[in-house]
Amino acid sequence: MAPGVGSCIKLIVGLGNPGVEYANSRHNAGFMVIEKLLAGFPEGRFTESHLAESRVFTGRFRGKNLVLQMPQTYMNLSGNAVAPLCRRMEIKPQEVIVISDDLDLAPGRLRLRQGGSDGGHNGLKSIIAELGSADFKRVRIGIGRPESGKTADYVLSGFEGDGEKAFAAAIERAAEAVKTILGAGMSTAMNKFNAAEKNDTEKK
Q: Which residues are catalytic?
A: 27
Spatial separation of the C-alpha atoms in residues 86 and 176, rounded to whole Å: 24
- What is the C-alpha to C-alpha distance for residues 184 and 182, in angstroms, rounded to an integer? 6
Rg (CA), the chain: 16
Beta strands 137-142 and 47-51: pairing type? unpaired
